[in-house]
Copies of this chain bind each other. A is one copy, B any other.
Amino acid sequence: MAMGRPREFDVDKALDLALQVFWRKGYEGASMADLTETMGITKPSLYSAFGNKEELFRKALDRYVDGPGGYFQVALAKPTARAVVEHLLYESAAAVTDPNHPPGCLAVQGALSCGDAAESIKQELMSRRAKGEQDLRQRFERAIAEGDLPEGSDAADLAAYVSAILQGMAVQAAGGTTREQLRRIAEMALRTWPPGLASV
């Protein structure tokens, strides 16, 4: 059977470029003109290859999670809860200030608040963040079971606490904070890890 005209651009390269645009401008702030211009392709090519703007964002998001955001899954595989948190905090500080990428975290600033048209993207990012926090909670549950965290620790609370610090660091990075400053924040959080049990 016929194979048709071959594509003249690299889909993965184009997706990486789209990711940069979404990362820097957010889902709403990135226009199709922005995207096609930096991707180096025309709009029909984009639609043919990626569906529409929303599908393009979702594919870019997948690529983000497996690429620049991959440190999260790596951290979960560390042998101790402390090593997990250390890796999370330091690698996050590095990732959100990587000069090769826009500052901040796509999962946080991609669509933190938005108009009606982007609502489903906002939901997607919310559930991704929630998923990350849940994965962390399960990792802490395991740590508690292994005696790696104090008995009586609340894995869900610890996961929410670490997630909040990570997301806060992402906001700081979006505001121009330096990598060194974020590392000091990470140090301070680690200095008191784990934050001890509630005195109920």
Interface on A for B, CB 8 Å cutoff?
23-26, 28-31, 34, 102, 104, 108-110, 112-116, 118, 126, 129-130, 154, 157-158, 160-161, 163-172, 174-177, 181, 184-185, 187-189, 191-192, 195-196, 198
Contact = CB atoms under 8 A, between A and B. Distances in A.
Contacts of A154: 184
Given A28-B28, A30-B115, A102-B113, 18 more contacts: A24-B113, A26-B112, A26-B113, A28-B29, A29-B114, A29-B118, A108-B112, A110-B113, A112-B171, A126-B174, A129-B171, A164-B165, A164-B168, A167-B171, A167-B172, A187-B198, A191-B195, A192-B192
How many chain copies does the complex carry? 2
B175 A171 contact: no
Given A160-B177, A171-B167, A115 B192 contact: no
A186 to B, nearest CB: 9
B184 A192 contact: no
B126 A25 contact: no
